[in-house]
Chain A
């Protein structure tokens, strides 16, 4: 497949206008309004062949007279024709640097280098980076078996499309619309749209804008959906979903339409029934109408993310749907749906000036969604969310480095302040610290992006604290009002720029609305990465009745941490009430004496006032003479910070018992883990039992109590912790040891009922094993579980019980060395556990629970039993459950077990199985999540000698990041993350030094060439090349992994067929050329061009001359793809040899190819040469492309 990232359309104007004999090039400049309208028409959508034929027409208003080039983004599309004003055919060329990111540097295997190349490649195709009379550019194109950007879900089953639930939808990482039609794939290039989709009669095409009409085609078997989108929208916000959808018009708002796959309508109704409330909330909060005329929600299968919001429509994962008997999923689904709606306002309607302004849209929409969640799920939930988000951001930054929300502009040097000179170099350093470039959206690690989104939400919330919520909402309102105004204007008005948001615009808007200059804030938190870290200690001075605080920022040189200067709020809870003190932090160590308000007088019985104004009785006997009950730092989380507070355990206990803020309670619980004392135990137990307490806190307390009880096990004689609490809450009245029939109408109790068994399963006795009474308790819970009278489903509860059973498993005590593990010699407990698990797992085959939640945990429990030696460690089960066709959650669970298995007992083939899935699985979401698991739990640790640490593996991953995943940015960056996890930023140790390798190269290439000539290209495998091991070894693996080869071989054949078709279609242009044996050795054929035209060939712009070993973007087309493994750039040397052989034979071909290549290589030169014929289809098929390109 050819991934053609940029199309340059060169137009010979002489033909058209005699007066101007200059070639016109249009450079897309962001300031110029040059593309006011675009038509997209997809006519031939075939689910059988997974192909699309389409046509786009861009109306371009040149801003300059000397328009010479139009640069468009199009990837993996095969372009047939480019027509200007329906009259003139234009020449075009393609160029996709992601097909070989490192280009000339074939030897490098270090991420440091890669990151640089990667950025260069990304910048080259970044439409924002490359900078009358209306001109219409029409492009005919097709997509076949697209690898990314648009996803076909075609279950292998008999039946009509409706019965099978066949559908397709678009997806992609950030701006990836180029993957399914040619466009200017920039967030800043907005235009109005007309979209037409012709689909089968039973299908519905859902896309952006208003559905104007649906018209039958003349043969009455297909329908055409006509959409118009009059609000200027950028290409990344264009989407499409086609399927046999069931249509449900929202009963509250008729402008809103929901779509789901056949059979799911009842649960769609349940899931979407509160959606109108989100709309009302946002409209009210922003005091602005919803900017579009309609909204569509489409629920589809196999999405790569839970949701993605596009102009007037959102595409959701089908797995968000739930019926009214499900509890846990509701919160998640409602949050996701309201987030998608919030992004309609900020993200879709208001786009961004540059991708570096992404933080604004993400931050604002998440902030709004947070407000909605606060309204519907409560303040405690909201504060808990903020706290956990803050923690995640802090953890990411401390592990990988500070996140810079907007890296486009360095922070202005502060006029005053000693840390200015420090912070600047710091920032530079921090940027360098990442193993990827943060200067482009397509090079950033998905983990980084994820953390960046979270951080932007926190920063937005910080802004709320600085300027007040009302004013912040007014700022949003202003942005929206301006944009709404602009949207109704013509492009000529020049107002469309108001629809874009940027850091500077936003800062200015804040100033206009509030009169406050937030530039310093923006510099500090948006343009600089990192967070603050405070360490607080305190001493009570009895003589002076003061408390001496010391706040240190010791770790400012650590990764992700920077010094904070400014105000910091400290809250003291004293006997007489809560007192707030604003301290100025100016240095790394700040000492402050705070006079206590209250004399120590704990003997007097008096109620103690809290910050909320209530007065409570406390048992003060644990205190010493300090009147301070507890200390908090920055309680409102107004800074991006991590805080370490040192205070004695009784203060933490008071904080847990009496502080009303849930975040303080959670902090106290975390801190109390370190104090396993009876009083801690008491405090935790009381918290669990306290019905006034937020359920999340009670759950956390239960989990903490597990740890505390385990630490105290030596001197504890009573029943296992929490058993009494559980029986008190859930035991039946007549027989406390039998659990009541389930009744989940009280959700607090529901969550407690789930968490306590889980927490108890973590208990260990003095021997380090789970107490037998706990196991019996758990088995009894299974036995007596009775959900017949319950209104809600107990699937999550049962799943948690299985998880708890799994957690009771401890390493097997007596292992006869070498003896096989059989069912007979299992311990009684293990047998009981295993029986329970197998029964539940088998039962799920006929009576599946919601989302197979029980199976998911059963698999994990089996893995746990294997891991601890109770079962033989085997991967068969996990492999079978991870196959395509199972429900996604089951697959993910099985893969998690596989990843764990690979790390412990896996063989190379198991690891390759995982990598095969990573490369070829049809479900893009699974690939990403699998990559996440491998990163989380890598097969081996960096720098440790391991059986997997082989050059083969390096090659495989490297090939993937270097050329294989050009179609999927996120996956490519995932692989970079994985590579980094395994090998770090430098060249992997398992590879020999390149100098040494050079010596071996000659031999190997000869051998490779020989093998290549013998075998079809498809049968060779990637790992033959760079492996430094002697020849014999390198060639062997090729032969030995027939499975994969077979697979790719088949694919290739298919592709070859298609290529032939293509050739026939365009035969008249080729005339003499026969397809020959093109597909037999395509790679060899393509190579010669370089040498043949060596005098003309130029390197890619900005790449510098790379000598004869350059890489031709066109060469990895469809055929090349399946054997990319082989087509490792490093191979080129060898190929060069071959190409000489073929040179004369395929002269023609070389010619075109050359032409194309030349252009690719140097647009600058190409521009000078008007005559260059370049054209190719960006088709997947190399051959077809070469042949057809000639006359276009």
Chain B
């Protein structure tokens, strides 16, 4: 076909017009047509037909009808100044290939939504013509997986296995990357139970006294059950006696806080005192 396909997006009618123009051109004796020329011609014929139709419609409506008759078309041609009679010859003499009927492409069917769960029926107060409810997961919840097993035993089991796996993987990695390992067996080739050689770590007591095997809250690390008990007692006492001796309490408080402040501010301890600068006397002392 000489007529190159016009824009795919153009609608079916335009497509048909293109086919019509092409067949006319072929009938007239053209072998090919440029894309632009074809488009212009299609444009022309579209305008021509549109105008014709509009006029035709006007006459039809003028006559009080809703569907045009042949007479309306004739009037329209006349209106447009076209010699109506020459059409007859044209149709009889010209031999044009007949165009295949237009197959309207079916739009691709949308795949069905995955139906999960059962749609809820409309309640009685809602008329039936209103759209039905969507699938429940869309607005209630989404059961995307199976319910986890939450019984105590298996949770513990899982946690234990996970912990062990992590530890095992970690130690394995460490053993592989360690500079030296000990072997408990005499055979050299396979060391199934490698022991990481311990490196002396100075000072040795630091890592031992500040363990890192578990992470505790700062609170726990300084937890003082006794102080807490005393505090507890105090607060309870305070509540009890609050009404009676509020004033006294306050005084005590203030005294106490003062005390605290003062004690915080200067603790009379020689180790906290500033180092003295040397004077002549001091030099004497040190020199001996």
Contacts and interface: CB of A to CB of B under 8 A. Distances in A.
B212 A847 contact: yes
A845 B174 contact: yes
Interface stretch (A233-241, A264-272, A912-920): A264-272
Contacts of B151: 734
A135 B271 CA distance: 34
Residue among B163, B187, B276, B286 with most chain A CB within 10 A: B286
B216 A325 contact: yes
B201 A841 contact: no
A43 interface: yes
Interface in B257-288: 263, 267-273, 275-278, 282-283, 285-286, 288
Given A838-B194, A846-B174, A885-B201, A254 B211 contact: no
Contacts, number: 237
A318 interface: yes
B67 interface: no
A198 B263 contact: no
Interface stretch (A816-824, A927-935, A1004-1012): A816-824
A730 B271 CA distance: 50
B9 interface: no
A728 interface: no
A829 interface: no
Interface in A842-886: 842-852, 862, 871-872, 874, 876-877, 880-881, 883-886
A734 B154 CA distance: 11
B288 A41 contact: yes
A214 B171 contact: no
Contact of A732 (B156, B196, B273): B156
Contacts of B90: none
A53 to B, nearest CB: 13
B210 interface: yes
Interface string B10-50: 00000000000000000000000000000000000000000
Nearest to A271: B209
B220 interface: yes
Contact of B185 (A198, A787, A843, A872): A872
A1057 B45 CA distance: 118
A100 B213 CA distance: 51
Nearest to A322: B209
A263 B210 CA distance: 9
A834 B184 contact: yes
Interface stretch (A217-225, A455-463, A963-971, A1042-1050): A217-225
B208 A155 contact: no
A842 B182 CA distance: 11
B224 A324 contact: yes
A1120 interface: no
A839 B174 CA distance: 11
A885 B197 CA distance: 13
Given A218-B278, A738-B153, A847-B213, A249 B269 contact: yes
B129 interface: no
Nearest to B171: A842
A216 B195 contact: no
A845 B198 contact: yes
A821 B185 contact: yes
A839 B187 contact: no
A215 B270 CA distance: 12
Nearest to A248: B271
Nearest to A870: B184
Interface in A689-744: 732-735, 738
Interface string A1026-1070: 000000000000000000000000000000000000000000000
B221 A325 contact: yes
B204 interface: yes
Residue among B156, B187, B223 with most chain A CB within 10 A: B156
Nearest to A247: B271
A389 B22 CA distance: 121
A1074 interface: no
Contacts of A43: 286
A835 interface: yes
B214 A787 contact: yes
A156 B202 contact: yes
Nearest to A57: B288
A443 interface: no
B286 A883 contact: no
Contact of B286 (A155, A198, A321): A198
A247 B272 CA distance: 8
Contacts of A81: none
B69 interface: no
Interface string A482-497: 0000000000000000
B276 A215 contact: yes
Contacts of B193: 823, 834-835, 838
B175 interface: yes
A249 B267 contact: yes
Contacts of A810: none
Interface residues of B, number: 69
Interface in A873-908: 874, 876-877, 880-881, 883-890
A226 interface: yes
B205 interface: yes
A848 B195 contact: no
A139 to B, nearest CB: 13
A834 B263 CA distance: 57
A607 interface: no
Contacts of B263: 251, 254
B167 interface: yes
A735 B152 contact: yes
Given A270-B222, A735-B156, A843-B171, A301 B285 contact: no
A103 B102 CA distance: 132
A16 interface: no
B237 interface: no
Contacts of B149: none
B267 A55 contact: no
Nearest to A217: B286
Contacts of A849: 211, 213
A474 interface: no
B105 interface: no
A196 B185 contact: no
Residue among B152, B222, B226 with most chain A CB within 10 A: B222
Given A196-B285, A266-B222, A215 B208 contact: no
Contact of B168 (A211, A264, A786, A839): A839
Given A263-B206, A786-B160, A850-B208, A734 B269 contact: no
A164 interface: yes
B202 A157 contact: yes
A261 interface: yes
B142 interface: no
A215 B282 contact: yes
Contacts of B212: 846-848
B208 A852 contact: yes
Given A266-B221, A270-B221, A786-B159, A887 B278 contact: no
A324 B156 contact: no
Contact of A784 (B156, B214, B226): B156
A301 B269 CA distance: 25
Contact of A267 (B186, B187, B210): B210
B182 A876 contact: yes
A287 interface: no
Cβ-closest 8 pairs across A and B = A885-B200, A155-B202, A734-B152, A211-B270, A735-B153, A842-B171, A215-B282, A823-B192
10 contacts: A213-B270, A257-B271, A783-B164, A786-B163, A822-B186, A848-B213, A871-B184, A872-B186, A874-B184, A884-B200
Given A839-B168, A877-B182, 14 more contacts: A164-B202, A212-B270, A218-B286, A220-B278, A319-B208, A325-B221, A734-B153, A823-B185, A823-B187, A835-B193, A842-B171, A845-B174, A849-B211, A851-B209
Interface of B: 151-153, 156-157, 159-161, 163-164, 167-168, 170-171, 174-175, 178, 182, 184-187, 190, 192-198, 200-214, 216, 220-224, 226, 263, 267-273, 275-278, 282-283, 285-286, 288
